[in-house]
Chains A and B, each alone.
Chain A
């Protein structure tokens, strides 16, 4: 598999670390209490099929966190952008 890093260009899978779902958002001003909003953020994930946004870290490259839109059924990578731009 290859990921086109927006900074470094297309690079092999071995340069990247997979992190997980890029669509969850850390509760802003979520407070100190362990609410459902918090547990959902940390634990609750959809088992999506088809295109999905994932976080990857270019650990052996520029250290950028990337949002990779990947089809989980075909492994086709549809889009890559830096997480900072997506945030």
Chain B
């Protein structure tokens, strides 16, 4: 296929050729390839441009730690930026594009940034772009954004499907390398539930890269999740994991990824280790690779990433690369070991491979324009040696992949022997196995934190373009703490979280400050271990599935009546029922007029309904409501007001007494759950001695308001004999249990929110839709009219009933004109603090009504109230409009408002000022009840 693909070996499926494209050019690879291995097999080394300097970048690693080889994968709405080519599995038709270059990878005009490097060092944002401030948003930021950046996110909505699941196990094994597999085998033997997750498609971890056999026996009872990254550790033995279901396949309708919450009794972290680059001049040139990655490409993908290699190492493990290079037929131009005498192990392998070994030497710099053509070596004698090669394999040692150990704030500790941080404190229930523990890592290492002395840029954090000189600069400018270093240089803050950078950076800062590495400290890692798509976090909860929709029992009927629906909390309620040719205002006005002159019906099921029973039920109501309840007779309902303990109004509603020990409470729609929680609080914590029980029955009962002068006539047609609903037998505020429509159990309440003769009739929820139809049939002769929440709102404003805008958590009973409802004879929630002087001050804004002086200009909620002629200033502000409507009954706009000293000011003129929407008009202050203040309609 290509000169870089080895003739045999590897774990690729040679029988399955795949086509893919990179930057518009077509290539071939095999099933089992990653995009990175397939590109290397095709001789493509240059795959990206760096973040800030636009330097040419290639493939550094063979795993999820990759900082350089970031590409845009797929196209259109499926396009995903910053995808690591080293973990993107190849599929037929894969389309990848390089990013952050213009116009092409090879000729990136913005590589001029590399020549501007002296001005782009750490902190350049803060220094260069300080002045003038107005230039920042308009000039500097757009320029910087264009010049420095990562890939482009798709601009269309994400078409992929994501799932979520919760898994439970006794033991969670994180990592499917040798150590993880051994741990899983051992855990499975105990008979517990075991889950093993590995981020790769194939189990084996580093063994695959080193060409070692993988033992998969004894795992029959283990739930194995490949392509699954455990990305976070959370409190309560909870782990976050992301399973990539179809990222390795062409786009389809199948779920793309699954976000898993794993609850594990114990966990074993067997996440292996990440190799450290060496920090030498031009160490970012394509062709410079981690030694372990070179082995992975040879053994796992059967790719020779070069023809002539220089191997630089400082410990014995990296010597495994020598036989690997030989196996791939790559000539070894030199082995550079900074240890004075190297080691017997390395010497023996070098001799076997007949490769020149330079002891006590260091890589000085890589030479080449778009890729490596030679390595410059600083020999032990101090001379510089130029060695032609097209591959530099380097290893500065390995760092345990201990990220997950620090997610709950535990600190790793420095291990002098292995010259790396190893896990020390661990999250509860976690143990560490294999290379992740640091045991046996980096045999005979002689740390080398800065290799050579070349002036050429030597990168520490590749992805954020942080060089060793930036660390020195940070130190010079006083940013010596690890946290300051990180934020000033942006080291470790790229999408790879500095997986290949952090330890080198700490060591260099330690050297600059003359402190030890452990004294310099370590930054702690935060979830996620590797990036998680926002789509996966959202899962299926988007669009109309973002939250559940609650439909009222009469929803189908309302739809058939042409209702327009509005969301109120989770509920969908009918807002108005427009007829042909009507706009919303005409519909609402017609609905109001129908109720005021005839009869209308409205679903009020959404009001919270709480069934309360027990010998102490009345006592309990006395505790939670401000007013008296012991005097309420069976078969009667009463309005009730609830305060919070701080004296502010929490909720209002009615409560009916159906039996000796049986009450039904209603709450506002918005506060149904909150009131239920509050009642549970009061009962379980404050008054546990009360013998009372209650339960929410909001979903069990459908409730429909029947309102208007003809409402009794309508109900008489459906109420079963002998129940008597005449005014004498069933007066205002009566309540009772009965049957309707020939045997359907029902509850009837004579309540009115509209101010008209009105009832609320409740039936088991399953009969709700039928009830609406039955009422429509019974009321046909009076032209019974469905009305929605909008007409309901207009009528309650006409009647001065406070609702959500007035019950805003900052108003007291007095503010709402309901001071009389605060009983003096009993304790209740909020009693003491409602008596605070500031809350009883008569100059507080108090509920009033407003009419425009010209009887024409509409009001808008939120407008401020000022004395006429006064300057519009906060000190002159005397209140605000809470609710406004056009009253069809009165024929002009009206409003409810909170006005300082309100009740004493009826008849005054006030200025209604709305600077945001250019409103400025005069209004007459009136009582908040615009209609039938005596209530004669209610009692009709």
Contact = CB atoms under 8 A, between A and B. Distances in A.
Contacts of A13: 236
A81 B824 CA distance: 36
A42 interface: yes
Nearest to B830: A42
Contacts of B236: 1-3, 10, 13, 77
Nearest to B263: A2
B836 A34 contact: yes
Nearest to A2: B236
A34 B235 contact: no
Nearest to A37: B832
B238 interface: yes
Contacts of A2: 235-238, 263
B833 A1 contact: no
Contact of A55 (B408, B685, B832, B836): B685
Contacts of B677: 17, 57, 59, 63
Nearest to A75: B235
Contacts of B827: 32
B684 interface: yes
Nearest to B237: A2
Interface in A1-39: 1-3, 10, 12-13, 17, 19, 26-27, 30-35, 38-39
B753 interface: no
Contact of B684 (A12, A32, A84): A84
Interface in B408-426: 408
A87 B676 CA distance: 20
A83 B685 contact: yes
B745 interface: no
Contacts, number: 72
B647 to A, nearest CB: 8
Interface string A26-64: 110011111100110111000000000001010100011
Interface in B185-227: none
A9 B235 CA distance: 17
Interface residues of A, number: 34
Given A2-B237, A17-B677, A59-B673, A39 B684 contact: no
B833 A84 contact: no
A26 B686 contact: yes
Most B C-beta atoms less than 10 A away, residue of A3, A30, A32, A39: A32
Contact of A30 (B237, B263, B832): B832
Contacts of B688: 84, 87
Q: Is the interface of B mostly helix, strand, loop or mixed?
A: mixed
Contacts of B135: none
Contact of B680 (A35, A39, A65, A76): A65
A84 B692 CA distance: 14
At the interface, is chain A mostly helix, strand, loop or mixed? mixed
Given A32-B832, A33-B832, A87 B685 contact: yes
B835 A65 contact: no
A83 B238 contact: no
- Determine the interface band of chain B, counting residues with CB < 8 A from chain A: 20 to 34
Contacts of A41: 645
A1 B832 contact: no
B835 A32 contact: yes
A34 to B, nearest CB: 4
Nearest to A67: B685
B646 interface: yes
Contact of B835 (A10, A19, A33, A43): A33
Contact of A63 (B261, B646, B680): B680
Contacts of B235: 1-2, 75
Contacts of B681: 19, 57, 65
A17 to B, nearest CB: 7
A76 B832 contact: no
B907 interface: no
A10 B237 CA distance: 11
A76 B428 contact: yes
A42 B646 CA distance: 7
A19 B678 CA distance: 11
A26 B685 CA distance: 9
B428 A35 contact: no
Residue among A12, A34, A75 facing the most chain B CB atoms (10 A cut-off): A34
Interface in B220-276: 234-238, 261, 263
Contacts of A31: 832
Given A2-B238, A76-B428, A38 B684 contact: no
With a 10 A CB-CB cut-off, give which of B238, B685, B827 has the most chain A CB atoms. Answer: B685
Interface hub of B237, B647, B833 (most chain A Cβ within 10 A) = B833
A3 B238 CA distance: 12
A57 B835 CA distance: 29
A65 B684 contact: yes
Nearest to A38: B832
Nearest to B834: A34
A38 B428 CA distance: 41
Nearest to B835: A34
Nearest to A76: B428
A34 B832 contact: yes
A57 B681 CA distance: 8
A79 B827 CA distance: 33
Contacts of A77: 236
B238 A38 contact: no
A11 B154 CA distance: 38
B626 to A, nearest CB: 12
Contacts of A33: 832, 835
Interface of B: 166, 234-238, 261, 263, 408, 428, 645-647, 673, 676-677, 680-681, 684-686, 688, 824, 827, 831-833, 835-836
12 contacts: A2-B263, A10-B236, A12-B166, A33-B835, A34-B832, A55-B685, A57-B680, A59-B677, A63-B676, A77-B236, A82-B684, A87-B684
Given A27-B832, A41-B645, A57-B681, 5 more contacts: A1-B234, A32-B824, A32-B832, A38-B832, A65-B680
Interface of A: 1-3, 10, 12-13, 17, 19, 26-27, 30-35, 38-39, 41-43, 55, 57, 59, 63-65, 75-77, 82-84, 87
